[in-house]
Amino acid sequence: MMNSPVETLFGILDETSTLLQEELNCTYLEAVAETGENLFQEEILQDELSELTKKRLSKKYAELNLDETADEDIRKAFQFAILKGMKENVQPNHQMTPDSLGMFISYLVNRFTEGMDTFKVLDPAIGTGNLLTTVLNHLTGKETESVGVEIDEVLIKLAYVGANLQKHPLQLFNQDSLEPLMIDPVDLVLSDLPIGYYPNDVRAKDYELQAEEGHSYAHHLFIEQSLKHTKEGGYLFFIVPNNLFESPFASQLQNFLNETANIQGFLQLPLSLFKNKQAAKSILILQKKGDGVEAPKEILLAQLPSLSNQRALQDILGKIDGWLTDNKR
């Protein structure tokens, strides 16, 4: 039985990454980035490798024709390699947005941006770039320019290599996203927000959503930073904790959003996507206020079924379509 394109590409990524990991004495994740860069540049860039290893790598790379491989197949194979690396070298900031969730957000972005042929998108916590490239691979008839920010050097290298292999133009900034960003306003923001406390209290003082005492919530500051870099009328799609509006700082966040944005929707994700109820998340959809920007007649609220339950999912999509017809300006 023949392997699928995803299985074939993953097998080569895995084998060549393992070779590089052993000879470069680096982590598997770092080796995935190195082998991805070799594939993109169509040459072996690591001069310190033995001639035998270079020959073995060249032989494996020659088995691929990325020009004839679908971008989505490349993303999935690259994702599988990254997931393997994350299991081997677990770190709290090394997480990936589930594939089914990325697909659902792609649907939402397509629906909310109907009529927009070109736009600029920002992910202020891009990680490995999986969420952003999932959405980019499923946008229909749109020309995009993308920007990502990530403080982790390994993750941003993976985002860079993955975007190159999928041929997505992507501008990347390796920095703390809550420091000043040299980014022009964008039309769209999407992000699986980092959850927890932001340790830099001095920097947090520059934000309206700083905590009066102790550390501020990083995800609140990310929302404020994102709105600051969004054009009037631009949309923002965030993956947030279910209890976003029930936390100790919820009233402060609610007041801030009342001044700066219209809440379009709050969609609770199925618990089956998460390890436990405490880790459950939702999709928060905002539109930045501005001249001529009207609030929806009602906020789109829904509890999403399992994303593998096609009948129940179609019912929810029908509800969302109806809401968009009634409310989207």
The encoded tokens of residue 31 equal: 């080796």
Q: Could you tell me which of 141, 139, 140, 159 has the C-alpha nearest to residue 149?
A: 159
Q: Could you tell me which of 130, 65, 74, 73 has the C-alpha nearest to residue 102?
A: 130
Percentage of the chain beyond pLDDT 70 is 97
Compute the mean pLDDT over every residue in the chain, rounded to the nearest whole number. 92
Domains of the chain: 5-88 (1.10.150.470), 99-327 (3.40.50.150)
Q: Are 300 and 285 in contact (CB under 8 A)?
A: yes
Q: Are 307 and 270 in contact (CB under 8 A)?
A: yes
DSSP string, 78-146: HHHHHHHHHHHS--TT-----HHHHHHHHHHHHHHTTT-SEEEEEETT-TTSHHHHHHHHH--S-EEEE
Instruction: Give residue-wise pLDDT tens across range 253-308.
Output: 999 999 999 999 999 998 888 878 888 899 999 999 999 999 999 999 999 888 77
Q: How many residues does the chain have?
A: 329
Q: How far is CA 60 from the centre of its chain?
A: 30
Crossing angle of helices 130-138 and 153-165, in 10° steps, is: 20
Considering only CA atoms, give the Rg of the chain.
21
Instruction: Give residue-wise pLDDT tens across range 60-81.
Output: 999 998 989 999 999 999 999 9
The structure's pTM equals: 0.93
Q: Could you tell me which of 180, 155, 175, 191 has the C-alpha nearest to residue 78?
A: 155
Instruction: Give residue-wise pLDDT tens across range 179-225.
Output: 999 999 999 999 999 999 999 999 999 999 999 889 999 999 999 99
What are the strands of the beta sheet with 261-268, ordered from one edge?
Answer: 170-173, 143-149, 118-123, 186-192, 230-241, 281-288, 261-268, 300-303
Q: List b or e across 84-102, with b for residues whose CB sees 16 or more CB atoms inside 10 angstroms.
A: bbbeeeeeeebbbbbbbbb
Instruction: Give residue-wise pLDDT tens across range 76-95.
Output: 999 999 999 988 765 555 56
pLDDT at position 141: 83
- Angle at the Cα of 284 (from 278 to 288), degrees rounded to 5? 150
